[in-house]
Amino acid sequence: MEFVSPEGLRLDGRRPTEMRQLRAEIGNVAKADGSAVFEMGNTKVIAAVYGPREVQNKSQQMSDQALVRCEYSMANFSTGDRMRKPKGDRRSTEISLVIRQTMEACILTHLMPRSQIDIFVQVLQADGGTRSACINAATLALQDAGIPMRDIVTSCSAGYLNSTPLLDLNYVEDSAGGPDVTVGLRLLSCGTYGYTLGPMD
């Protein structure tokens, strides 16, 4: 199948290094301390942050820093076919862990000892790049909650199809079988350095 036309246009009319349209909103979940909705093209993700608040499981309490917990789930209606198990399956657990490690590296946890920060991310519409959209939404929600952070993390996915590197894959390109990578970038004031997360297959 042809993913990049001879003129250099992708299936949805984008150039290979062009991103999808971005849209973000904060403050959607009234009861949460911070919340954000992030859209990358057709992928739509909502993140809610609760905290810092009292640790619910006393055995996990850390006396010198805050405990960061993250839960990633996909809504049943987010994919083309109705999802059977929205959370608890292996992929969700892996992505929850990845998001938690990413955000924990940025949050200044030593400023809030003996407390807990909960990040809940849910995918409302999945069209490729849900991992990156989740990280972006989580960053916005944490900033909305006023939680001190070292810097902002942004994320995007990239792949390689038809001998062309492509930026910000959608679902069709993602499931095409080529290699893809999701990169999280910390924007430090001196410039950027990134680290990769996610399977490269």
- In the numeric block, the tokens 């992929």 are attached to 91
Shortest separation between residue 17's beta carbon and another protein, angstroms: 25
The 153-161 sheet, strands edge to edge: 164-167, 153-161, 180-188, 191-197
Euclidean distance between CA atoms 193 and 196, whole angstroms? 10
Whole-angstrom CA distances from 98 to 7, 14, 104 are 37, 29, 10
* Region of 4-12, 50-58, 84-92, 167-175 interacting with another protein (CB under 8 A): 50-58
Residues 6+ apart with CB under 8 A from 91: none
Q: Which stretch binds another protein (CB under 8 A): 24-32, 69-77, 90-98, 161-169?
A: 24-32
CA distance 118 to 28: 17
Nearer to another protein, 42 or 61 (CB): 61
Nearer to another protein, 109 or 170 (CB): 109
CA–CA separation, 66 vs 84, rounded Å?
Answer: 34
Q: Does 193 bind another protein (CB under 8 A)?
A: no
Closest distance between another protein and the C-beta of residue 25, in Å? Answer: 11
Residue 165 is a binding residue for another protein (CB under 8 A): no
Identify the residue among 113, 178, 194, 198 touching another protein (CB under 8 A).
113
**Which is nearer to another protein, 117 or 166 (by Cβ)?**
117
Residues that bind another protein (CB under 8 A): 27-28, 30, 33-34, 51-54, 63, 66, 108, 112-115, 143-152, 187-190
